[in-house]
Structures are given as structure tokens and as C-alpha cells.
Structure 1
Amino acid sequence: MVVLNKIYTRTGDSGATALGNGARVAKHSARVEAYGTSDELNCFVGVARLEATGETDDALSRIQNDLFDLGADLCRPDMEADKDAEYPPLRMTAEQVDRLEAEIDIMNAELDPLRSFILPGGTTLAAQLHVCRTVARRAERLAVLLSEQETINPVAVKYLNRLSDWFFVAARMANNGGKDDVLWVPGANR
């Protein structure tokens, strides 16, 4: 359980922050960049939820919770120490990736195949989901960079990779099942 009685602590005033295991690192470290970007993504998902309804809103709610799980995973280094931790650290699981894949397959079955790249836009929700897609890709790139420097849970990278695909397909669904996708016309303004 998390209890936050005081929001500011002044412990980060020097440019360092605490990780999930208590270690202090620079706020610009690869690990903080990775989980900070997943937090940024969560905020954009919250904005998208302002337009979402029904199953899409339900799915986005699950994704927001997953993104907190992802942040908890990424902020906790040293997976080898997990077995000795007082409380087992929260780690992303293959089941979370599998759920995204199943949801992608269900949505994609309702869409016509793409015959062109699409431009971000269409409905407000679709445009917001495209922003989520690109921020998820950035979070993935940062997690991959972190994985080249330190050991991380490989499922975290898989989750982000699948999540950006989920946002792409969900954006098409938000565009009237793909019928209102904005198609790229190569060289249209030459």
C-alpha cells in the first residue's frame, strides 16, 4: 500500500531521485527516463479517456493500471535481489502482453487491411491515441536503451512494443472502424 502524507520532500532538490530499492540516481538517468516516459504516456492515456467510451474506455483504464505496474517494474533495479526483497517487486508479466495481443486481434478483425500508411488524425480520440502510440514508442526506445546498460525485465520492452501496436489499431477503430482514416498520399504537395 502506498501512503503519501507529504508531497514534497526536498530530497530531489539536488537532481537525484530514489529508485524502488532506495538507491539514489540522477533524475536524467536512463532508468528514470524510461519510467518517467511511461508516466508521461499514462497522462496521455488519461486525456484519451476523456473521449473514449464503453470497451475502449475500459481497455484504456486497464492500460493505465498496467503503466503504473510498468513504472514500478522499471524503477526497481537488480532483478537478482527480487527473491530476497521484503516485498516481492512488481514485475510485468507475459499475461499482460498476451491480453494486449488478444485485444489487438479482436479489433483488427473488424478493420479492412491497410493499403496506405495513415496520418495521425480523424476523430479526436484517434488523434489522441496516435499521440499515445508515439509516446509508447519513445518509452520503448528508452527501455531498450536502459536494457543495454542494465538488466531489466524483458517483458517490459515487449509490453511497450505491443502497446504501441494496440494504440495504432485502436486509433483506426476510433476512426469509424478505419473508414475515416486519413491516408498518406506520397508526394501530394510537390
Structure 2
Amino acid sequence: MVVLNRIYTRTGDKGDTALGDGSRVNKDALRVEAYGTVDETNATIGLARLHAEDEMDAALGRIQNDLFDLGADLCRPDPDRDSEAKYPVLRMTAGQTERLEREIDAMNEALEPLRSFVLPGGSALAAHLHLCRTVSRRAERLAVALGRAEAVNAHAARYLNRLSDWFFVAARIANDSGRADVLWQPGANR
């Protein structure tokens, strides 16, 4: 259980922060950038949920919870040393990515194949989901870069890769199952 009885601690006033294992790093460290961008993705989902209803809202809520799991995973360095931790370490699992894949497949069944790229927009929900997609792509790029520099749970980047796909398909669903998609017209304004 998490208990937050004090919001500010002053421990990061000099530009460093604690990771999940207690070690301290600069606030602009790649690991902090990665899980910070996961948090930013979560905030964009909060905006999208203002326009979502029923099943879409519930699915976005599940993803928000997953993103807290993902942040916890990324803030804990060196997955190979998890057995040394005092408490169980929360890591992303294949099952979380597999759930996204099942949801993508189910949403995609209602869509006609694309014949052009989709411009971000259409309905308010679709526009917000496209923003979620682009921020999650940035989080993925940072997680991949982090994985080149340090040990990272492979399921973390895989989840982010699938998540941006989920947002793309969900945005098409939010655009009247693709009928209200705004399509790119190459060279239209030459």
C-alpha cells in the first residue's frame, strides 16, 4: 500500500531523485525521462477519458493502471537483481501486452482497411487518442534508448509499442468506426 502523507520532501532540490531501489540519479537521467514520459502519457489519457464512455472509458482506465505499473517497472533499475529487493518488485508482464493485442484485434474487426494515412483529428476523443499515441511513442523511444544503455524489462518497451497501436485503432473507433477519419491527401495543397 502506498501512503503519501507529505507531498514535498526537499530531497530533490539539488536536481536529483530517488529510483525504486533507493539509488539517486539526476532528474534528467534517461531512466527518469522514460518513466516521466510514461506519466505524461497517463495524463493525456486522463484528458481523453473526458470524452470517452462505457467500454472505451473502462479500457482507458485499465491502461492508466498499467502505466503506473510500467512507471514502477522503469523506475527500478536492473531487473536481474529483483530477488535482492526487500519487497516484491512490480514488473510488466506478457499478459498485459497480450490484453492490448486482443483489444486491438476486437476493435479492428469493426474497421474498413485504410487506403491512406489518417490525420490526427475528427472527433474530440479521436484527437485526444492521437495525442496519447504520439506521447506513448515518445515514451517508447526513450524506453528503447534506456534499454541500450541499461538493463530494462523487455515487456516494458513491448507494451509501449503495442499501446501506441491501441491508441491508433481506438482513435479510428472514436471517429465513427473510421467513417469520420480525416485522411491525408498527398500533395493536396501544392
Q: How many residues align?
A: 190
Deviations 1:75-132 (A, max 9, x none): 0002122112111110000000000000000000000000000100000000000000
Match of 1:17 in 2: 17
**Matching residue's letter, 2:43:** C
Q: CA deviation at 1:73?
A: 0.1
- Mapped partners of 2:117, 2:81: distance in 1: 45
- Mapped partners of 2:38, 2:2: distance in 1: 19
- Mapped partners of 1:16, 1:125: distance in 2: 37
- Mapped partners of 1:154, 1:134: distance in 2: 21
Q: CA deviation at 1:23?
A: 0.3
- Does 1:58 pair with 2:58? yes
- Mapped partners of 1:79, 1:185: distance in 2: 46
What is the correspondence of 1:1-12 to structure 2 with a 5 Å cutoff?
1-12=1-12
Identity %: 69
- Mapped partners of 2:89, 2:27: distance in 1: 21
Q: Which consecutive unaligned segments of at least 5 residues does structure 2 have?
A: none
Moved more, 85-94 or 121-130: 85-94
Match of 2:157 in 1: 157
Match of 1:178 in 2: 178
- Mapped partners of 2:94, 2:25: distance in 1: 29
- Mapped partners of 1:135, 1:89: distance in 2: 26
Q: CA deviation at 1:176?
A: 0.2
- Give SS of 1:25's match: strand
Q: CA deviation at 1:36?
A: 0.2
Match of 2:140 in 1: 140
TM-score, structure 2 as length reference: 0.99
